[in-house]
Amino acid sequence: MITLGEIAKIINADVVGDDNLIISSLSTSSSANGDQLTYIVNDKYKQELIRSRAGAVIINKGLLDDCPTNALVVDDVYLAFAKTTHLFKKQISHSHGIHSSAKIGNSEISKSCVIGENVVIGENCTISANSVIEDNVIIKDNTFIYPNVSILQGCLIGENTVISSGVVIGSEGFGNARDKQGHWHAIAHLGNVVIGDNVTIGANTTIDRGTLEDTQIHDGVRLDNLIHIAHNVVIGQDCAIAASTGIAGSTILGKRCMIGGMVGIVGHLNICDDVIVNAKSTIDKDIASPGIYTGIMPLMSHKKWQNIGMWLLKLDKITKYLNIKLKDLKAK
């Protein structure tokens, strides 16, 4: 627990409201309650600020008139948020062996594993050699974990899940804020990873924990080797994703999507159900209709890519124009 005034001193903010308000945690603007702190970056999210029920909000001066609650006023909201996240990061116990508080059903645990504080492991699970299960992780029945897997604090693994060697679940997301001097400040990711039932995860795949809410892998998902899933991504039920694909933060995939190898998916996108994406494609915009998609371009300067992209979009019109001209020539 920490007061609003104490947070203000750490992030160099001006308090508007009750500086003695006790803040229990951070949350998103849409779900925060009276003892939680949230943040609004700019005017684009003004309506979220107006509707927010948070105890306090980190904002810039320009949004102060629209703030319905206590405020921490700063020049750089994202940087202030980055610094604030570290005040709420939970520390792990750094256990050796199996912690005495762990609850383990009739499961097989290798002697070389590390099992943290308050871990719950269900029935008929196998945790193979040199795997690390950090504090407050829950692993449900009939899950098989191969050697050298790391499941970091607070994550949830569903039933009948298979996790191959080298997988890291709950790693820190790639979120950073830059100060005026150009130095980076890491954001502490406070969410978890929630994995559903009947999921398989291939070797050396990495799934980052959410920033404030959870990264989600829904039931029946199949993940190949060497995939990276960033913070706050949601993978819908029964999706299949091939090797070396990377999905940037906060993108949502619908159900039954099939993503080919080495696909790059930009962040903050929405991809509907039943989408197939061919290998090596880049997805840089929402997909609202089911179907098969391909997007492959050779590497070039960004300016040249913009020009080529513009002409590609006009090819159908150019073709129609040329066909009309050709008919006119033949007629003459």
Active-site amino acid positions: 231
Closest CA to 132 of 93, 172, 89, 88: 93
Residue 107 CB-half CA count within 13 A: 25
- CA 109 – CA 113 distance, rounded (Å): 7
Query: Going by C-beta distance under 8 Å and a sequence separation of 6 or more, which residues neighbour residue 56?
Result: 4, 17, 21, 23, 37, 38, 69, 70, 71, 72
Q: Which residues pair with 70 in a beta bridge?
A: 56
Q: Are 38 and 58 in contact (CB under 8 A)?
A: yes
Q: Are 62 and 40 in contact (CB under 8 A)?
A: no
Closest CA to 174 of 222, 215, 217, 203: 215
- CA 6 – CA 86 distance, rounded (Å): 14
- CA 332 – CA 330 distance, rounded (Å): 5
